[in-house]
Chain A
Amino acid sequence: MRMLQKKMSLKQRISLPPFLVLIFLLVVALFSYRNMVLMGDIVSSLIDKSEQTLSSQTKLANLISETQISVSRYFSQDGQKNFDSANLALDVIKTTLKQGKNQAAIDAIEELERLTSAAKARFASLDKEKEAFLDAQTTLFSLSASSDDANKIMDLMAKVGNDMTDPAAENQKNLEKEFELLTSSMAKGDLKYAVEDYWDIWAGYTAVYLKLQEDTTQGLSNALQSLYAFQEQAITESKIEAQQIGKQTLQTISQANSLVVTASIIAIALGIILTLLLGHNLMQIMTSITSGIRQSFEQVSEASMSITSASQTLSDGSSTQAASLEEIASSLEEMTSMSQRSADNAQDANQLMKTTHSSVENGSRSMTLLSESISMITRANEQTFAIIKTIEEIAFQTNLLALNAAVEAARAGEAGAGFAVVAEEVRNLAQRSSTAASETNQLIQDAATKVKGGNELASQTNESYQEIAVNSGKIGSMISEISVASAEQAAGVGTIRTAITTIDDAAQNNAASSEELAAAAKTMTAESDQLAAYVEQLTELMGGDMRLISPTKSNKKNLLHQIGFNFHKD
């Protein structure tokens, strides 16, 4: 039952009990109709059987009567015509009885046939004996005329003649004795033989006649009695059969009525039980379904609110996204131009770096030349220093000489006064030369120191130039790479721009879709209101409480607030 209930739909559950009751009542009606038809058939059969029985009994009675008449007529009045008539009647009744397979009656008919056939032979024998009797009587008359026993013979013939027309069993023994006495006393001869023949013919005739009479009175009567008994039995059986049919009909009617009443009660009880069972189960299921719908509705309501909020947020987000994308697109435009400019600048920088690299190389070469020049200046300073050294030595020597000359001039006195002046002047000059040479030497030493410092600076500068050249080469290659990267960046920015354009289109579509979604969410909210009304009706139908189910406007607002939806949002 539970399995059946699980498999049944609501429609089936509701429609099954009345449908089953209807089918049951239909079956009962069909059964009643069948019983009515059956009873009609039975009654019709009863009438037919009664008519058939009546007809059969009438026919059988007629046949038996005809057979009795024909056979009895034949037994009382010999003749081929009567024999044929009797045989025909026997054949007809035998054929009729064989159809009913009535063995006792058939046996009776066969006995009648046997008796009729035997009677034919007996009648023939009697006819023959009658003729023989007349011949024997004539012979006996002619032979006994001269006999002493003529009177006895005539007397016996008279008795026999009377006996022939009406043989009686009690006379037989007396006549037999008389024949015995007569023949035993007679001598052998024609007369004796004639008496014996006469005796035999009489004996034979009477025996056959008595047998025929016995057949008529006993065999024929017994067979006919059997037939009548059969007929009576058949009538009795027909009556019993009719009574049985009547009883059976009444029983069938009673059974049919009982069955109809019982079946109707069972159908109603079954309908009530099924209705109660399925209804109870249905109520349980409906209550469960209503509860489930209520919970689901609350969830759906919350979900619809969430969808409304989400769709609104999505719509705003889509608009913001579209605006941002437009800004990104414009930024990308600028970025593209900047990238292009950077690429161009990188190209120019690269070119400049190449120029700078050559300038640095030139500078390096110039610094090399400068170093060489400074080296040459240093060597020249060394040579100058050597010359100045020489000049100092010359000035010293000159001073010494001037001193000597002064000494000599002082010695020489007046004569040497001029000379002493010259020697003084020469000494002054030598001192001045020595001073100048010292100063020059100092200057040259300072210049050498400075040249040395310049040479070191030139070397350092040259090294710096070389580093600058190396670095400028590296910078050139880096700028080349930057240039290539800038070109690639420009291309990438172009691709990004295209993608952003596509995204922008998609964002526009998303914005439109989100607006549609928002509209659909509103529709869904409206549908949820309608669903709430349906649930309310269903719950009222189920006898439940709807207060927990129907989301009022305040309830909705609470729900929306719970899910973070802002009603005052522009």
Chain B
Amino acid sequence: MKKLLIQMTIGAFLCASAAVATADSQGLFLDKCGSCHKRGGQAAVVNPADKAGRVWEKYFARGRHPVDMGINEGDLGAVIQYLADHAADSDQPASAVIPK
């Protein structure tokens, strides 16, 4: 019983952490990427569901982004993880985080 309670507490904590992390990652994505990739912005509108998760990973691994994003590695990692988590082949593809 005690073990179950501990597991439930940890599970609830992790879920809450994941939700917070998702909210933070989405904010980071909107902040870092959405500043240019937006309707009428400097670049075309981009959403995580535009590509598959592995494609996003390889894209940034190869350093194929044409301009300097002005983002540190930690934030970039978080943004990439967010993109992969909500990519077209993910369970929860996000296709309209940035309105088209």
Which A residues are closer than 8 A to B by beta carbons?
Answer: 114, 118, 120-122, 124-126, 128-129, 193, 196, 200-201, 203-205, 207-208, 210-211
Contacts and interface: CB of A to CB of B under 8 A. Distances in A.
A354 to B, nearest CB: 148
A433 to B, nearest CB: 197
Contacts of A200: 51, 55, 58-59
B61 to A, nearest CB: 10
Scoring B59, B88, B94, B95 by chain A CB atoms within 10 A of each residue's CB, the highest score goes to B88
Contact of A125 (B50, B58, B91): B50
B64 A125 contact: no
Nearest to B92: A118
A203 B59 CA distance: 12
A204 B55 contact: yes
B89 A122 contact: yes
Nearest to B86: A121
Scoring B52, B53, B59, B93 by chain A CB atoms within 10 A of each residue's CB, the highest score goes to B52
Contact of A204 (B54, B62, B91, B92): B54
A207 B95 contact: no
Given A193-B64, A207-B89, A211-B88, A125 B94 contact: no
A126 B93 CA distance: 13
Contacts of B49: 121-122, 124-125
A208 B88 contact: yes
A125 B52 contact: yes
17 contacts: A120-B95, A121-B94, A122-B49, A122-B89, A124-B49, A125-B50, A126-B88, A196-B62, A196-B64, A200-B55, A203-B52, A203-B55, A203-B58, A204-B55, A207-B52, A208-B88, A211-B89
B78 to A, nearest CB: 21
B91 A118 contact: yes
Contacts of A128: 50
Contacts of B59: 200
Contact of B89 (A193, A196, A210): A210
Given A122-B88, A124-B88, A204-B52, 7 more contacts: A118-B91, A121-B93, A121-B95, A125-B51, A128-B50, A204-B88, A211-B89
Interface string B42-75: 0000000111111100110010100000000000
Contacts of B51: 125, 129, 200, 204
Contacts of B92: 114, 118
Nearest to B49: A121
Contacts of B52: 125, 203-205, 207-208, 211
A413 B58 CA distance: 261
Nearest to A196: B62
A200 B57 CA distance: 10
A205 B90 CA distance: 13
B50 to A, nearest CB: 6
Mostly helix, strand, loop or mixed at chain A's interface? helix
A207 B53 contact: yes
A116 B95 CA distance: 13
Scoring B89, B93, B94 by chain A CB atoms within 10 A of each residue's CB, the highest score goes to B89
Contacts of A121: 49, 88, 93-95
Contacts of B53: 207
A208 B89 contact: yes
A557 B60 CA distance: 147
Contacts of A211: 52, 88-90
Nearest to B62: A196
B92 to A, nearest CB: 7
The 9 A-B residue pairs with the shortest CB-CB distance in the complex, in nearest-first order: A125-B88, A121-B93, A204-B52, A204-B55, A207-B52, A121-B95, A121-B49, A211-B89, A207-B89
Nearest to A125: B88
B15 to A, nearest CB: 17
Contacts of B58: 196, 200, 203
Contacts of A210: 89
A211 B89 CA distance: 6
B98 to A, nearest CB: 13
A295 B18 CA distance: 108
A125 B90 CA distance: 12
Contacts of A125: 49-52, 88, 93, 95
A129 B89 CA distance: 13
Nearest to B59: A200
B93 A122 contact: yes
B93 A203 contact: no
Nearest to A183: B62
Nearest to B94: A121
Contacts of B50: 125, 128
Contacts of B90: 211
Nearest to B91: A118
Contacts of B95: 120-121, 124-125
A503 B56 CA distance: 147
A183 to B, nearest CB: 9
B18 to A, nearest CB: 17
A124 B59 CA distance: 19
B19 to A, nearest CB: 17
B88 A203 contact: no
A200 B53 CA distance: 10
Nearest to A219: B91
A78 to B, nearest CB: 13
B63 to A, nearest CB: 11
A204 B52 CA distance: 5
B91 to A, nearest CB: 7
A149 to B, nearest CB: 18
A365 to B, nearest CB: 161
